[in-house]
Amino acid sequence: MNLESPGAILFKIGPVTVRWYGLMFVIGFFSAAALAMRLGKKWEMDTEEMLNTAFWGFGGGVLGARIYYVLLEYKRFLQDPIQAFMIWTGGLSIHGGLLGGILAGYIYCKVRKLPFLRTADLMLASLPLAQAIGRWGNFFNSEAFGRPVNSDFPLKLYIPPESRPLEFHEQQYFHPTFLYESIYDLLLFSVLYFGLAERVKNYPGLLSCIYLAGYSIGRLIIEPMRSDSLLAFGIPAAILTSSIMLGISFILATAVVLYRKAHPLVPKDSTSSNTSSDETTSSEGHP
């Protein structure tokens, strides 16, 4: 199978240009937000507040993703600083987006007095779906592709000459690593949302840790195939960040489980305890 981008631009209307990259981000965001709200309703969360948290997380994520990317590619942007603001042309780092989105969500939850860990679990259980869809924006931009493959490789991605790295300028076909990650993210979403969410909901924060660990493992597997990895200290930044994130997520997951074993949540319909539902909800936010 041969994949080839039809181009980055979906259509133009006068001075307005609509790009596939932005459309994929919008579709991914609203798809994940809708499913997070659906699960939140089952968990008796305030769906309006969840949607507000999602918008704050999205805004913080885009900002964090761009800042992270610009910092890693600062030499390029020093030559033309205005390009740092042109996010529609591509150049968003998912790890920076995670940091920015989680920080923005945390601030909003604190201001609104919402249970942060419970809210984070709902958002991060759905996030891989947004990532799976968003990766197709890389396809249309002819970016985030892998190393060269032969023309007889069963699954290959054609990259136009202007988008190829200099060392691979004579090569035409490459690993479609955007597709590998899209499929992996979709599988991760299925496991988190349909397989684990209900099983671990009494361990607020655990689902978030599983997401961070699962996504990090995927990046550690796929990133070595990439031909355009951003570097930090001479090594791919995604590998460095994913390794750190994987270690931290395991430590935090262990802490969450041990804490909840010592301080189990009281079911709301319990008749043997005088603990109110408000107190139970409050405890969920501070393991």
DSSP state letter for 225: G
**pTM metric for this prediction:** 0.86
Contact call for residues 153 and 210 (beta carbons, < 8 A): no
272 pLDDT above the threshold of 50: no
Contact call for residues 185 and 129 (beta carbons, < 8 A): yes
Sign, CA dihedral 237-242-248-251, equals negative
Strands 156-158 and 2-4: parallel
11 DSSP β-pair partners: 18
DSSP state letter for 1: -
User: Has residue 270 been placed in a domain?
Assistant: no
Residue 193, helix vs strand vs coil: helix
Work out the burial of residue 237: count CB atoms within 10 Å of its CB; fewer than 13 is exposed, 13-18 middle, 19 or more buried.
Answer: buried
17 phi and psi angles, rounded to 5 deg: -115, 125
268 pLDDT above the threshold of 60: no
Tally of structural domains, the chain: 1
User: Has residue 269 been placed in a domain?
Assistant: no
User: Has residue 248 been placed in a domain?
Assistant: yes
Q: What is the mean pLDDT of the chain?
A: 89
pLDDT band per the 50, 70, 90 thresholds, residue 269: low
State the average pLDDT over residues 98-114.
96
State the average pLDDT over residues 141-164.
94
pLDDT tens, residue by residue, 80-94: 788 888 776 667 888
Residue 72: in which H helix or E strand, if any? helix 47-72
Range of the domain at 20: 6-263+276-284
User: Has residue 1 been placed in a domain?
Assistant: no
Q: How far are the Cα atoms of 71, 138, 141, 162, 254 from residue 8, in angstroms, in the given order?
A: 24, 9, 5, 13, 43
User: Cα 196 to the chain's mean position, in Å?
Assistant: 18
Query: Token digits for 54?
Result: 């999602």
Cα gap 32→130, rounded to integer Å? 6
Work out the burial of residue 275: count CB atoms within 10 Å of its CB; fewer than 13 is exposed, 13-18 middle, 19 or more buried.
Answer: middle
User: Has residue 17 been placed in a domain?
Assistant: yes
Q: In what order do the strands lie in the sheet with 156-158?
A: 2-4, 156-158, 173-174
Cα gap 37→41, rounded to integer Å? 6
Q: According to the model, what pLDDT value does residue 87 have?
A: 74
